[in-house]
Amino acid sequence: MTHVSLPADLRHAAERAKGFMPSNEGAALFDTAYVYGSLGPICEIGTYCGKSAIYLGAAAREVGSVVFTVDHHRGSEEIQPGWAHHDPTLMDPRFGKMDSLPFFRAAIASAGLEEEVIAIVGRSETVARYWKTPLAMLFIDGGHSEEPVTKDYDGWAPHVMPGGALVFHDIYADPSKGGQAPFRVYQRALASGDFKEISTEGSLRILERVDPAAG
């Protein structure tokens, strides 16, 4: 998508951070943010410990943009105790709850991206209700069950500017490979006619909002 490479120090920082994004998908996320970030701000739904925010922030630095990353940092359903992706080191014993915020802050500080990556700590649907700024790129990677991914799409997709990008993570057409809620919402976005698919990489799906002015 672009000839600009992810800086080696930021690639290493992203690979060291806790998270679930393979390097090839992270590189595609960087490429997409580089292409669209010059049009305006980038927003990520689902921060976790900051791995994908490093890829986005690296691109934002290159093009003079900024990344807002939204998460309540108490963990989505699939990373709670008893689930396959649970990481016990993220438990806060004081409250008996997950808390990924300290890990995020450490990852972003270590990467030197505190100017480019801005954390918004709160529920996605609450923040979306008051959000007014058009987005050049929206990356949806929050909760992966039906209700949260639907709320993320309904609340945030309307803010993607014409010609801007909408990116989904963990899209699996085959139910044996992953949950189907993100796949259904991705299909809904395509069926709306508001978005067209630009490219794919692994489980990433990169869409662009149709610009009526472009004819």
Cβ atoms within 10 Å of 215's Cβ, excluding its own: 4
CA distances from 168 to 6, 18, 203 (A): 20, 19, 8
Scan for tokens 């060291």, then name that residue: 16
Q: Is 178 helix (H, G, I), strand (E, B) or coil?
A: coil
pLDDT of residue 176: 78
pLDDT of residue 96: 81
pLDDT along the chain (215 residues), means of 10: 81 92 95 98 96 98 98 79 75 86 96 98 97 98 90 98 97 84 96 97 97 77
pLDDT of residue 3: 64
Strands 160-168 and 204-209: antiparallel
Question: How far apart, in whole angstroms, are the C-alpha atoms of residue 107 and residue 26?
Answer: 15
Sequence spans of domains, the chain: 8-117+126-132+148-161
144 is catalytic: yes
Which of 12, 85, 86, 144 does the annotation list as catalytic?
A: 144
